Amino acid sequence: MTTTADDTTADTATEGHRLRSEVRAAHVPGTATQVRITARDHAFTVDEPAALGGDDTGANPVEHLLAALGSCQAITFQVWAQKLGLALDTVDIKLGGDVDLRGFFGLDEAVRPGFRGIEVQVSLSGPEPRERYEHLIATVEKHCPVLDNLTHGVPVTTSAHIA
């Protein structure tokens, strides 16, 4: 069953309104940092730049995190503009953040290994009054799944199998 914004009802039950996502990540043998990602029928490579010991065959994991946020927001802008009956000509999102590598390499236990913060710059254009776009921005911040995951935290359960 495919659920679209038009299918969503006021019913708060999750059955019929749930999307399960699964991704597989596997290290590419013979490489230092290449990882092959598969999601449904899609595949891509994640790697680190040469400065971090990789071959730079793909964007690195934190770049993919930024891409996930930016693309989710762009999609959420389109979905909610349509849902609100708002004309939207362009959506352009620029994202950035700094990672202190001392945390990743374990050089300073007081330094977290992830982003210190993420900056998001959204540029919208269209024929609507500014107030309508401001309402759209607030709506996207409320309904973007990746933004929600990043700002509210998601429980992560890890199980490991050692062969």
Residues 129 and 147 grouped into a single domain: yes
Residues 99 and 160 in one domain: yes
If one counts the domains in the chain, the total is: 2
**What are 143's two structure tokens?**
């309904």
pLDDT tens across 83-135, in order? 999 999 999 999 999 999 999 999 999 999 999 999 999 999 999 999 999 99
Same domain, 112 and 142: yes
| Domain shared by 97 and 39, yes or no | no
pLDDT in tens, 54-97: 999 999 999 999 999 999 999 999 999 999 999 999 999 999 99
Gap between the Cα atoms of 119 and 67, Å rounded: 12
Range of the domain at 104: 60-163
Instruction: Take residue 89 and report the two structure tokens written for it.
Output: 């000509």
The reply to whether 41 and 69 lie within a common domain is no
Residue 4 — pLDDT band, cuts 50, 70, 90?
very low
How far is Cα 150 from Cα 69, in angstroms, rounded to an integer? 9
pTM higher than 0.85 for the full model? Answer: yes
pLDDT score for 16: 75
Query: Residue 17's pLDDT band (boundaries 50, 70, 90)?
Result: confident
